[in-house]
Structure 1
Amino acid sequence: MNNFDDLFEQQPQPEATEKPEPQKEKPKKQWWQIREEKQRKEAYATLDRVFGAFSEGHGDMKAYLDTQSRFPFHSARNAILIGEQCPNAKRVGGYKEWASQGVEILEEEKRLPIIILEPGKAYRREDGSVGQNFYAKEVFDISQTTARDEAQPQVSYDDRLLLKALISNSPVPIRAVEELPGQGRGAMFDPEQNAILVKKGMDAPDIFRCVSLELANAQLARSNAEYSRETEGYKAYAVSYMLCQRYGVEAGGYNISRLDGVLQGQDPKEEIPAALTDMRDTFKEINGRMARAMGLSRAGRQKEQER
């Protein structure tokens, strides 16, 4: 051994190290997953734009209310999405819903679906609260199907039946009186009597308009103990308008444009969606009572699913 051999023998040997396990590649998304994600993002972008417009004081309340009046079983968000994509939509359904009725989506319309948001699985956040996932769903209006040229039945309601249905199962009693305080008032809620007082001698459309307004106020107050007619009465006004639109009662006297700025300055993420949901839920509740009183089944009224 020469004088240098021991230098090599004394060199520390490198410690054996475990090779890291190769990271598993995430499975590639399928084409339909990519499309659904894109549609969902676009739907949320549309809602952000509409809520933002209301917050800035130039939203289109009439457009929303007109659509919601035709789709009481859809959420406020989905009514907005339907109205933005197909303003004149009358009745929507997915592929399976239309197929179950023997109706096909027109080939040229299959690439032009209306995108709504369908609730998925709930999940629990880190703070313990429960969240809700949503995914995009494609639906199509009847105008996009083979049923578009079929004659749609025109429904008209007897005035007496309509008024009877309106006051059916009212949250408060409704009484006819000779006169009411205040000029031009046809109906009013009297807290002392806990009743809606209706002036005698009015015609049916006037009764429907003024009583539906008071009923909406009573329903909103019943649903929310903090409801204030002074600051939130516009919600009842909107509900009354939607009921008129749904049942063919003349609504030309409603000044809906004044509601375009009523949400100005409110939070577009929380407050504005909540206000529109209050309107929708109250409308749905009163509309549901009316439909049951008139013996209308949900399927007979409108073949659509609640979302």
Structure 2
Amino acid sequence: MIQYWPRYQSLELNKQVVSLFYNTRQKLSHNLSNYTNCKLYVDLLDHNNKRKLFSNVLIELEIIILDIIALDLTITSIKLLSSKILFDLIYKSLKRFIPECKYSYDDFFSISSTYWRIILNEYHLLIEHLLIYLTHGSSKIQDHFFVFDYEKTPISHVYVLFENLLVQVSDLIIYCILSKKNSLFSIITFIKNNHLSNISYFSMRSITLFLNTLLVQSIIQLYISQPKSIYDSRYKVWLLSSSGLVIKYIYVSRLDDIYLLSKFQLLIFFFIEIQDLIVPQVEKFVFIISKIFLYVFVSFLGNSVIFCIRFILSSIYNNYK
């Protein structure tokens, strides 16, 4: 039986939020390894540090939710402040994770990079709707934004958004730390001094390959995967499972996201349309040609076999004659 998220502020909503935090904390005892084809900066950490980081993000997120409720922020205020709330969550979780970190708030959010652009294009999907679900209920979500009616929002849907925020914020924290290091040597030194490294990334070569892979992945994500997801009305989410971190896709309305794309990114729409138009025709043509070729080949092979049999029989007959 499907259970639905509470629609309004109520005791039931508070209970569901408490259960959400509790159940997510329980999941942190599971395997947190990433076995997908998509890398994360947080993969650099060993299991204990990854669990510690996720736990710190949960603590700071809980504080933020309590503050929003205490201040009685309206939906409009949450939407206006959602990007700042995200930045605060990243920064405060980082300071909790590594207290001796001396970077200031401005140091981190003056970052300009491909990966940061990806997040800025999707921050409303990452945190805005989740904050509304947790503090005001599903009735305040824009109708028809998701594929189901807001009055029947599955509890599992809110869990998906919650776990995705947890994983992506944790990943952003490690990214922010590494992006402020001015050399590979300083990155490796920081990792070693803080005992963060996963054994898979122990050598300088493995860390270099890891960071270069993430850079290429970010470029592909920004200029190809993200525009395609917007065109397909999909959003990639990260989830916690008993077998490790997994990727899923949910359907959302992304019409407003089109205005955030550059002209180069919009070109992907054109290529997708060309693909949708031409590929089926090419496949149909190849299928017909293949059938014709197969028919000719089978006919030729059949006639050849018959000819060989007749030739053999004729030879046998002539020998006996």
**Where on the TM-score scale, by shorter chain, does this alignment land: which range?**
under 0.3
> TM-score, length-normalised on structure 2?
0.20
> TM-score, length-normalised on structure 1?
0.21
More strand by share: 1
